[in-house]
Structures are given as structure tokens and as C-alpha cells.
Amino acid sequence: MIRDIRTFIAAFAVVLSTTAYAQSEDKTAAPSLSLPALNALQDQTSISGLSSGAFMAAQFHIAYSKDLVGAGVVAGGPWNCAGSNPLIAPLTTAVSTCMDPCKYTRFWWFCPDSLFPDSTFLSDLAKDSAQDGIIDDVANIHDDKVYIFSGQADKTVVTKVVDSTNDFYLKLGVQADQIRYNTSVDAGHAFITDNPEDTVCDKTNPPFINNCNFEQATRLLDHIYGDLQPPVSTLTGKLIRFNQREFFESDMTSMDDNAYVYIPAACQGEQCRVHVALHGCQQGIETLDTEYLTGTGYNEVADSNKIIVLYPQIRKSATVPFNPKGCWDFWGYSGGNIPPYKYYKKDAPQMVAIKKMIDRLTSQPAQAGQQ
């Protein structure tokens, strides 16, 4: 019965995604600002995310490993988790294997390892994909730093799923001392802060930003870059809204017209590093305005350490593409949920858009008088 229900869900989504696409109404006016070229350091970029943003961060890290120095995966699975079983549609795998595959069988005390993501299969698939040129050489990650987190009270993406992320990196040759994997906190499905005004640590409630008495953004960035200065108490830089639409072509990407970037004051005149921070489902600016951008702690630690923080944005779509919670695409909706799937490849539309934004930030500013 459970299998039949999941198969129906997958089939229903495919029907929705293959329907003629009607352009959605733009709910927010496109800003006049373009993402600035800041001559940021080209060899010091990293990425992180929560939930669907964590799945996307893991996918982007492996696909574009040549351009990155590290990744943070908070409550997310490994690269191409939805492709763990080639006999099952990625959407079905995404909502089962990649989240809590034993949600129903646990009632009968039955939860075999075979229901969870197969890190061996995925690591071998990543190597083959690199040889085929659809992702970068996996050897690029051998000197990268990886931060992974799973809360003990997280019932959305359970710890055993996140365990497979850790195993995946180890099997691809990342040394154990380059990975910081924290499963010691009784946290719900959320990004973690030390702000007492945020949600209680062990809960899983919107906006999915929980107070567990430590700054996750600081720990994450400190692990990737090392020896960072403490976060500032007063920001010096600016959070700028920019036109994200120029970085993607189709509304099938489910990407918002607008996105944000935080630029520390020092980065207006000095070369800085770039970190890409990806929100989770139900956390885009369409839902939370700027709460995820300003409430997760990234800006404070970035400000004191000359790190530009890029906040790409996804918006919700109830029809086509079928993305009602505004999640990042880790199962194939941006391609209509129709094979051949490319959500995990370098030419996946959301990943291409993120790469273009990074390239803009690391490019040279135009000289006065140039068009």
C-alpha cells in the first residue's frame, strides 16, 4: 500500500510537470540593481545549506568541486541522493529514502539499512559521472573541508540519512579529520543559532531557525576556512537585493526574480572570499522575507572575516513546476520530472544559475566609462 501511494505521488507530479506551462504572475517587482562584480577571490568559494538547500549544497559541491574549497550540509543527504535506486523515480526516492524511509515500517520495528541512501553506489556513480564529464573530477574534494550536522530530534531528514552523507565523502577520499560531523545536539529540523528568541531547540516549526545555544554559521565557516575572527555585534556591510532573473532562462527553475547578497564594508575595496548560503523549504524571501538572511548568523561572522555571502532564492509553485514548498531541486522538478534527469549534473539549471552568480562576484568590476 505504501509503495502504491508513493508511486501515485510520483506519477501525479510527472503529469503536472508535463502540462503546458503557464507563466506565473510576478509577485514582486524586479529590482533595478544587478549583482555587482567585486573581484572576489576565485579560489576561496564555499557553499552550505539547510534541508533541500543542504541537498543542493552537496550536489553543487560535487558537481563544481574544482571551484570550491568546502561545503556545509545541515540536515541533508549526499550528492544525487534521489538517484540512490535507479529503478525508482527520483521524486519517490527523495520523499522516502532521502528523508525518513522507515517512517511507516518503524511501527513494526522494521527498518533495514537497505532503505537508506546507498553511499557506496552513489560514490561509484560520482566517479563514473566525473569520467563522463558531467561533473568535475571528484579528486578535487580531497583537500576540501566539509561540515555536516544532524539534530537528534530531527524527524524530517533523519540522522541515518545524514550518516550516508558522511560516508559518501569518506568513500570519495575526504579524510575524516577534514569532516566535522555533529550529531550530538537534540535539535529539530532547523538551522541552529544562540538566539533565545528563536524556536526551542528540539522543535521542528517554521521558520526552522532554532536556538540551541551555539552559532552554527560560525562553526560551519570556521571549519571550512579556519581561524576566523568572532562574529561582529554590529554589521558594517550591506544586504543588497539584486535581480536574480538574469542568471536563469526558464521559470521551470522555480527561482525567484530577486535574491540577496551581503557585502561587508571591507569587501568594497579588498578581495574577499565568497560563501553561498542556501535556504531550505518554506524559507525563501517569498515566505520569510529576509528572516533567513538576517537571522541565521552568516552575516555577522562574514562581516568580521571578509566573506561575501550570496543568498540565491527559490519560490513556491503549486502547478508547474510542482514545488509547493519552495524547495531546491534535488529530484528533478526543474526538468519536468522526466528522464533523462540532470538535477545533479553541472548543467542543471539551478546549479548553472548559482555558478553564474559566483562568477559575477569573482569577476573584475567594469572600469568607469565601460558599458
Q: If DSSP codes are grouped into helix, strand and coil, which group holds residue 14?
A: helix
Give the cell for residue 23: 507563466
- Within 13 Å of residue 130, how many CA atoms lie on the same side as its CB? 21
Q: If DSSP codes are grouped into helix, strand and coil, which group holds residue 284?
A: coil
Straight-line distance from the first to the last Cα atom of the chain, in angstroms, rounded to the nearest whole number: 61
Give the cell for residue 181: 560531523
Give the cell for residue 17: 510537470
Catalytic one of 154, 167, 198, 251:
154
CB neighbours of residue 359 within 10 Å: 14
Strands 145-149 and 179-182 come out as parallel
Query: 155 — phi, psi (to 5°)?
Result: -105, 5
For residue 154, indicate whether it is catalytic: yes
Those residues with Cβ within 8 angstroms of residue 212's Cβ, 6 or more apart along the chain or in another chain: 151, 185, 186, 187, 192, 193, 194, 201
Q: If DSSP codes are grouped into helix, strand and coil, which group holds residue 180?
A: strand
Those residues with Cβ within 8 angstroms of residue 323's Cβ, 6 or more apart along the chain or in another chain: 254, 314, 316, 317, 329, 333
Catalytic one of 46, 51, 96, 119:
51
Q: For residues 194 and 215, give the distance between their C-alpha atoms in angstroms, rounded to a whole number.
A: 6
H helix runs in the chain, sequence order: 2-17, 52-63, 90-94, 119-131, 159-171, 216-225, 285-288, 291-295, 298-303, 349-361
Query: 147 — phi, psi (to 5°)?
Result: -105, 130
Catalytic one of 48, 119, 189, 334:
189
Q: What single string gives the DSSP state of each residue in 34-103?
A: PPPP----TT-EEEEEETHHHHHHHHHHHHTGGGEEEEEEES---TTGGGS-TTS-HHHHHTTTTT-TTT
Query: Is 261 in contact with 270 (CB distance < 8 Å)?
Result: no
Give the cell for residue 172: 570519495
For residue 51, indicate whether it is catalytic: yes
Active site residues: 51, 154, 189
